[in-house]
Structure 1
Amino acid sequence: MTPTRDGDTRRRILETLLAGDPASASEIAAELGLSAAAVRRHLDILVGEGLAEAAPAPAAGPRGRGRPAKTFRLTAEGRSRFGHGYDELAAAALAALREAGGEAAVMAFARRRAAEILDGVDAVGDGVSVPEVVDQVVGAFRRHGYAAHAHPGRAGLQLCQRHCPISEVAGDFPELCEAEQEAVSTLLGQHTQQLATIADGNGVCTVHIPLVRSRPPAPHAAPTERSGQ
């Protein structure tokens, strides 16, 4: 009985790390209603199994008194425990599409997929601010299986995804990531900067969104296609 309970607890800890930012043992304990000591014991096991790791200390930000709490995040192996869904089939289908129609066909598919994910998200405009659009984007990605969130960064916001349901496929077909970023940029009416992707072996996909509007992205038809238009 005990191993099963312990396994369930560690699964809940992994799910907590999957859903949000790197978290300390105390934060996870508060979320799950456990003692911090118990959570630290399970985190030690998860780190030993290669499913979690200590997160780097933030490079900048408010500092309190004393040493900041140690935080943890999932490793790539930890994220893989949640599955990626039909990776081989999707990769085979995209490979066939590329063979038949070339890179342009793959990009057209990727743009259509990104438009479907973000369908219903408002664009920046009268009465709609960048942070409000980013909040809607986060919600849209979460509804499609991404562990997405946004937080303040240097001179802007950072849109992060700590679990991507297509990361295995996107490693071979980067058009999928490019189209998602392109569609977000179109909604925001400005360029965004890709800082990291899970597909490239990083622990998180991160896009920097300036709060000061820059030049709008180059126009293209596919990413701006919305249902009902």
Structure 2
Amino acid sequence: MPAIVDDQGTRQVVLDLIIEKGPITASVLANILKLTPAAVRRHLIYLEESGQIENLEATGKIRGRGRPARHYVATDAGRATLPDGYSQMANKALDYLQQVAGDQAIEDFANRHSREVERRYAPVVHAAGDDPQARVVALADALAQDGYAATVRQTAHGLALQLCQGSCPVQDVAKSYPKLCEAETQAFSRLLDTHVQRLATLAEGDHACTTSVPLTLRKNGTVSSINVLSGVKVARRGE
């Protein structure tokens, strides 16, 4: 019995890493977990067969020559394993709000949500100083602590960072009310003091909510150094 419990625990860790870092390969997972590739593949097979993860090559979302390494991302079923006790209730509440007060009430609610996001994370972001990269990493760390499975990744050209959220507590609600996603994006823009662009969302079926953040500040237009900050982990694209 202990071996079975340990196996389930490792499998959950594999799934959590895929939610946070996907798309990710078996070899990268094995390196992170200090397991053999064969052991990791065994967990991947189980997770894929149970519908909790998918292989992007099989879905046609990644194409390559020859036989490229498989890149795995979590499915909605996989993300559903994370704690979530209020999505259904929130959806019903917004449905009722729209029925009795109309679309303007939903927009007002989204704007209030945006201000709450900004208020919650402003102290952490401001404490990171003026360096754009440090501010993005600080925001990602704070989001990760709140269950968003957030990471920061460098783009190939090095002029922007991608803030990726592998989990979202309001994902199901945002499917019906996308203004919540727009409100969060606006809050990120104000927090980071630059124009950010939402590239993908979990609500629209992507494997992560991805926000592009240019490495500049509005107030003076200076470009941040692309060197990885001391003590801060910024994943390069493909890791």
User: Structure 2-normalised TM-score?
Assistant: 0.74
Which residue of the partner structure matches residue 102 of structure 1?
Answer: 102
Aligned length: 208
Task: Give the counterpart of 2:132 among 130, 133, 157.
Answer: 130
Residue 188 of structure 1 and its aligned partner are, at CA, apart by: 2.6
How do 1:182-201 and structure 2 match up within 5 A?
182-201=186-205
Distance 2:111 2:146 in 1: 15
**2:178 alignment partner in structure 1:** 174
Show the 5 A alignment for 1:76-91.
76-91=76-91
Q: Matched residues in 2 for 1:139 and 1:166: separation?
A: 19
Counterpart secondary structure, 1:121:
helix
Aligned to 1:38: 39
Distance 2:151 2:74 in 1: 15
CA distance in 2, matches of 1:213, 1:120: 18
Aligned to 1:112: 112
Amino acid at match of 1:193: Q
Distance 1:7 1:167, change over 3 A: same
SS at match of 1:158: strand
Matched, 1:209 2:210: no
After superposition, residues 26-65 of structure 1 pair within 5 angstroms as: 26-55=27-56
**Corresponding letter in the other structure for 2:175:** G
What secondary structure is seen at the aligned counterpart in 1 of 2:110?
Answer: helix
Task: Give the match for residue 23 of structure 1.
Answer: 24
Structure 1 distance, partners of 2:12, 2:183, is 32
| Matched-pair contact (CA < 8 Å) for 2:149–2:166 | yes
Amino acid at match of 2:13: R
What stretches of structure 1 of length at least 5 have no aligned partner? 60-66, 216-229
Instruction: Give me the TM-score of the superposition, normalised by structure 1.
Output: 0.77
Distance change in 2, residues 1:86/1:195 (3 Å): same
Shift of 1:132: 2.0
- Specify the alignment match of 1:143 in structure 2: 145
1:89 maps to a residue whose letter is: M
Contact 1:161–1:204, Cα closer than 8 Å, also in 2? yes
The answer to whether the Cα contact below 8 Å between 1:158 and 1:209 also exists between their aligned partners in 2 is yes
Change (3 A) 1:86 1:37: same
Contact 1:84–1:168 (CA under 8 A) maintained in structure 2: no
Confirm or deny that 1:161 pairs with 2:159.
no
Kindly report the root-mean-square deviation, in angstroms, between the aligned alpha carbons of the 2 structures.
3.0
- Establish whether residue 71 from structure 1 lines up as the match of residue 86 from structure 2: no
Deviation larger for 197-206 or 138-147: 138-147
Report the secondary structure of 2:72's partner residue: strand
Query: 1:150, 1:29 → 2: CA distance?
Result: 21
Change (3 A) 1:132 1:74: same
Aligned to 1:8: 9
Could you tell me how far 1:151 is from its partner in structure 2? 1.0
Q: How far 1:83 moved relative to its partner?
A: 4.4
Identity score, percent: 37
- CA distance in 1 between partners of 2:62 and 2:213 (Å): 18
Deviation for aligned residue 1:181: 0.2
TM-superposed deviation, 1:4: 4.1
